[in-house]
Chains A and B, each alone.
Chain A
């Protein structure tokens, strides 16, 4: 069955960087686009970034453009999100999700929590 497992979250100081990972299994990873979505405490879901199946196309929400970088390694079935210049407003549960139909996510991971605090 499809499984997505995020890791890499933690408590970081403002201004620092973090690299989140998502390990995929149960499907042909290289055939699917992938997304990162976050949910801040008490807030709704916010789409963050998308990467095409081959890594050639990358899209970002305006709120993270220039600070977040999405990448993938199809040989290792791994999706990554590099985040720099973190601020307390970036505190959130970050989910990875498999892209379908160019607009929705059909499978989600359980999320990894990023807390930005001094």
Chain B
């Protein structure tokens, strides 16, 4: 199972909105409404931000939102804050036994 494709880096200024893409195929992202996103500050515990494409777990800021179109899912961070600087990964249901992560995106707040 090939990794889902994400841009290596995305940057924005405080207060701006940025969008991270996660591109798969019709066998994973495009085939199911099951995409999740994680935030990972290096050295810390990864944190679930979005599941089932657009659902936020309790306690996650509503500045984070998810969507999907065709084989590409997206995570949008609105009102960018310095604490949002981290690595972000997507994952998708694949219909096969293996789990798969995205390649990861480093978000930089300028």
Contacts and interface: CB of A to CB of B under 8 A. Distances in A.
Tell me which of B36, B51, B97, B99 has the highest count of chain A C-beta atoms within 10 A of its own C-beta.
B99
Contacts of B46: 45, 95, 97, 105, 108
A84 to B, nearest CB: 21
A109 B51 contact: no
Tell me which of A59, A95, A105, A109 has the highest count of chain B C-beta atoms within 10 A of its own C-beta.
A105
Interface in A68-114: 95, 97, 100-111
A34 to B, nearest CB: 12
Tell me which of A44, A97, A100, A101 has the highest count of chain B C-beta atoms within 10 A of its own C-beta.
A44
B98 interface: yes
B89 A101 contact: no
Contacts of B101: 37, 44-47
A101 B57 contact: no
B40 A45 contact: yes
Contacts of A62: 98
B66 interface: no
Contacts of B97: 50, 59
A47 B45 contact: no
Interface residues of B, number: 27
Given A45-B101, A47-B98, A47-B99, A103 B93 contact: yes
Tell me whether chain B's interface is mostly helix, strand or loop, or mixed.
loop
B103 interface: yes
Interface string A27-55: 00000000101000000111100100000
Contacts of A37: 101
Contacts of A11: none
A103 B34 contact: yes
A61 B44 CA distance: 24
Contact of A102 (B40, B57, B93, B104): B93
B94 interface: yes
Interface in B74-94: 87, 89, 91-94
